[in-house]
Amino acid sequence: MGIAVIARDRSVIAVIGSVGMIRRWAWAAGIFVIVLCPLGIAAAQIAPKPTQTQDARTTSSELAHQVRTEFLHAWNGYKQYAWGHDELLPLSRGYRDWYGTSLLMTPVDALDTMLLMGLTEEAGEARELIINQLSFDKDIEVKNFEITIRLLGGLLSSYQLTGDKRLLALAEDLGNRLLPAFNSPTGMPYVYVNLKTRKTRGAESNPAEIGTLLIEFGTLSKLTGNAVFYEKAKRALVELYNRRSKIRLVGSAINVETGRWTNTTSHISGGIDSYYEYLLKAWLLFDDPDCERMWKASVKAVNQYLADNVNGGLWYARVDMNSGKRNARRYGALDAFFPAVLARAGDLDRARRFQESAYKVWTAFGIEPEEVDYKKLKIVEDGYHLRPEIMESSYYLYFYTQDEFYRQMSATFFNDLLRACRTDAGYAALSNVATHQQSDRMESYFLAETMKYLYLTFAPRETVDLDKVIFNTEAHPIRKTW
Ligand code: DMJ
């Protein structure tokens, strides 16, 4: 399938006319423009905003339509081969359940994407499946972090979008079952908790798993009126922040019982990444002044000690949290979340520069490897796990700059995904970006995040107003209704 590429030519940008034009464009593209409302989805109240020519509009509406079609292709694969299970196996056409029994990871993760895309029938089917089949009364030991960002986040956002109280009831039940994870001597959560027996395990954790809970637990408090969820997740975040080094950095592993760091390497990559994201977003979502203070001090330290200018590009290195001494020059696919966070915080200059570095990695290899040495531009880990972060950042940058360059980037990402990862049943990760060898995995975040951020980049700006909605780290949109 051929994808048109939008030229980077700001001179073609012109103010266009009326609300009616945008509506007609959206309608022709099969896009259902929706506005996130306190509870439920309202018909669009479209402000006359976009500044595009007819050509750019047509191209982006076509791309939005194609992304939606490809989302459906993957969802239909799930329906056909994995219905009722956690994940589709896109090569063997089977399914995978994370814990031997299903928690409906894919339907819960994908539901709000369907709602945003206007896939009403599919959303209805997924919602019924969730209401009828999802039970957390299971004797399984789950990862607190993953279940929080994917399931708790997904249930809360879908509740806000539909107003279906049964989704909130499921979220509250899940929240109560996860709460014992916080019962450590420091208040920082254990990695695992049994949903039935409430037994916990795993004292060795990291900043991402400890510090990426407040958006979901905090929202649960606001929506149920039970403050305990907010208090526990906030305490965990503060306890972690309080253990920062003298130069205000955190390490990559910490023991939640002793409170001691067991790995002092600092970076913005997997294992730390979304801790920073939640400091910023919890401040914005809850107007929490402690989070504001912690975010500002942390991002300053990251930009002071980790930022690394190499060959004219901005990168973020790995350094020792105590000395600031550089350990390695690595860029990972997960690091690509950072331009989005910087853009949301208003630092468009660093956001643009770091995204250009990320794009350079993607285009150097035709698709993004899991990890590279950015000085030598050499692969360290050669898989691609259908990750969304680089698309997330081009979406934020497009939203805040309206620079067509970012739509062009996202068109490249989409085109490369089609070329390398599409299978007859869905989309597959790659075990090797050079050979395009596919592996039998389609993580639920592919439908929750990767396809959502691609779609939103090409859909009308009003589909989601980034100034009013906070996406959790799994791309579940949360709206401040309190
Ligand atoms: C997702 O589950 C979340 O985005 C998380 O923050 C990081 N890992 C995956 C996507 O790569």
* pLDDT at residue 58 in the model: 67
Residue 45 predicted with pLDDT over 80: no
Backbone CA torsion sign across 97, 335, 156, 117: negative
Indicate the average pLDDT of the chain.
91
Active site residue 370: yes
Which residue, among 429, 459, 394, has the nearest Cα to 91 in the 3D structure?
A: 429
Find the catalytic residue in 112, 164, 277, 370.
370
Least confident among 47-56, 226-235, 386-395, 444-453: 47-56
Residue 40 predicted with pLDDT over 50: no
Per residue in 82-118, pLDDT (tens digit) is 999 999 999 999 999 999 999 999 999 999 999 999 9
Residue 15 predicted with pLDDT over 80: no
Active site residue 146: yes
At residue 181, what are phi and psi to the nearest 5 degrees? -55, -30
Greatest alpha-carbon span in the chain: 63
| Cα–Cα distance measured from residue 29 to residue 319, given in angstroms and rounded to the nearest whole number | 47
155 close to 165: Cβ distance less than 8 angstroms: no
Residue 63 predicted with pLDDT over 90: yes
Which residue, among 336, 347, 328, 188, has the nearest Cα to 266 in the 3D structure?
A: 328
Other CB atoms within 10 Å distance of the CB of residue 251: 23
Per residue in 368-404, pLDDT (tens digit) is 999 999 999 999 999 999 999 999 999 999 999 999 9
Lookup result for tokens 């907010």: 230
Residue 191 predicted with pLDDT over 80: yes
Find the catalytic residue in 86, 146, 239, 368.
146
Find the catalytic residue in 70, 277, 389, 443.
389
To test ligand 1's pocket by mutation, which of 395, 445, 472 has the most ligand atoms within 8 angstroms of CB? 445
CB distance 473 to ligand 1 below 6 Å: yes
437 close to 420: Cβ distance less than 8 angstroms: no
313-316 vs 253-255, strand pairing mode = unpaired
Lookup result for tokens 């279940």: 147
Encode 310-339: b = buried (16+ Cβ within 10 Å), e = exposed. eeebbbbbbbbbeebeeeebbbbbbbbbbb
* pLDDT at residue 53 in the model: 63
The pLDDT of 207-233, averaged and rounded, is 99
pTM for this predicted structure: 0.90
Strand partners, 89: 94
* pLDDT at residue 9 in the model: 32
The pLDDT of 327-351, averaged and rounded, is 98
Find the catalytic residue in 172, 273, 277, 368.
273
Active site residue 125: no
Per residue in 437-447, pLDDT (tens digit) is 999 999 999 99
Protein residue with its CA nearest to atom 11 in ligand 1: 387
Which residues lie below 8 Å from residue 286, measured CB to CB, with a gap of 6+?
A: 214, 218, 222, 230
Sheet holding 378-381, edge to edge: 330-332, 371-373, 378-381
* pLDDT at residue 32 in the model: 34
* pLDDT at residue 257 in the model: 98
Per residue in 19-39, pLDDT (tens digit) is 333 333 332 333 333 334 433
| Cα–Cα distance measured from residue 66 to residue 63, given in angstroms and rounded to the nearest whole number | 5
* pLDDT at residue 5 in the model: 33
CB distance 374 to ligand 1 below 6 Å: no
To test ligand 1's pocket by mutation, which of 149, 396, 450, 470 has the most ligand atoms within 8 angstroms of CB? 149
Which residue, among 378, 172, 398, 189, has the nearest Cα to 275 in the 3D structure?
A: 189
Residue 445 Cα to ligand 1 midpoint, Å, equals 7
* pLDDT at residue 31 in the model: 36
35 close to 438: Cβ distance less than 8 angstroms: no
Per residue in 137-150, pLDDT (tens digit) is 999 999 999 999 99
396 close to 344: Cβ distance less than 8 angstroms: yes
| Cα–Cα distance measured from residue 320 to residue 482, given in angstroms and rounded to the nearest whole number | 41
| Cα–Cα distance measured from residue 232 to residue 171, given in angstroms and rounded to the nearest whole number | 16
Per residue in 230-264, pLDDT (tens digit) is 999 999 999 999 999 999 999 999 999 999 999 99
